[in-house]
Amino acid sequence: MSAPEPIPGLRDIVRTRLGAIMRNPIRLPYVTCAMCTVPITRQYTLCYRCNEDVRGSQAAPGHGLGVPIARRIVPLTYALYGEQSNIDMHRYKDPMPEPQRLRTPSYQRVLLLALGFAMVHASCIDRVSVRPVSCVSVVPSLSGRPGRHPLLSVSDVLPRHWQRVELRGVSGIPEAQRRQVRAGHFLLHPTQQVAGHHVVIFEDTWVQGGHAQSAAATVLMSGAAEVTIVTIARRVRNNQRSPGEEALRNALPTSEYTLDICPVTGRSCP
Ligand SMILES: [Zn+2]
Ligand SMILES: [Zn+2]
């Protein structure tokens, strides 16, 4: 059953503006990764990287192992290489004056993705969790860009009752190491408490998930009871041939982006 529509016409606006460009992530056992929804080779349930992260999190602590991770990843769309969905995920945050950004279709689409999620599906996370979401942290930019990151502006549409928690990227860590999952890559602001809370980590694009999972590790090691990663896009190479990607591509042309598919479950809302 689908949730009631908080803004009349929202589903139609989303279909009109995003239908031909964005792609609902698919959750199909043995076709897509049960965590990050990337297409996988049959007989597996997780992609290579998520499987490695899970194994690492279960190992004895030390040498970068035993780092807790988020198991629930909620991408709102696929960003397909070479297609507008992927271009949008770069262009929405291109340096430009803010008034111009608000008129930029890529920014408007990314904002609409987040708004649709916030209005229709944010509460779906609560229904599949032990405790409801009470905090959100935006994965901070590690590039040291000046000014407010556009992802923070996008995150303003997320539910008001999700308390904003600030994470800071630790500087001086080489990019190659950034891809690994390490709680030490981020610092929680000392005045901010996440102990016992269900924290959403909000990210723009998931490529391998190292940044978001490191942020998840930081809040889990600070006592968060539960973590869910919400990423606007899961980037997918669609120029590589594999059975999973073939299956995904076969499923894609017939489906236009809709709020009727829940990003939390891949089906109807829980
Ligand atoms: Zn995965
Ligand atoms: Zn839902």
Pick the CATH number of 68-238 from 3.40.50, 3.30.1460, 1.10.3470, 3.30.70: 3.40.50
Q: Where are the alpha helices (DSSP H) in the chain?
A: 10-18, 48-58, 84-91, 98-102, 105-116, 122-127, 150-155, 175-178, 210-221, 243-251
Q: What is the Å distance from ligand 1's center to 54 Cα?
A: 10
Distance 200 CA to ligand 1 centre (A): 18
pLDDT at 140: 73
pLDDT at 200: 98
CA of 76 to the centre of ligand 2 (A): 11
Ligand nearest the Cα atom of residue 126: 2
Å from CA of 36 to ligand 1 middle: 4
pLDDT tens-place values along the chain, 270 residues long:
455 667 889 999 999 999 999 999 999 888 889 999 998 877 789 999 999 999 999 987 777 778 899 999 999 999 988 899 999 999 999 999 999 999 999 999 999 999 999 999 999 999 999 999 999 999 876 666 677 899 999 999 999 999 999 998 888 888 778 778 888 889 998 788 899 999 999 999 999 888 999 999 999 999 999 999 999 999 987 655 555 566 666 655 567 899 999 999 999 999
Name the residue ranges covered by the structural domains of the chain.
68-238
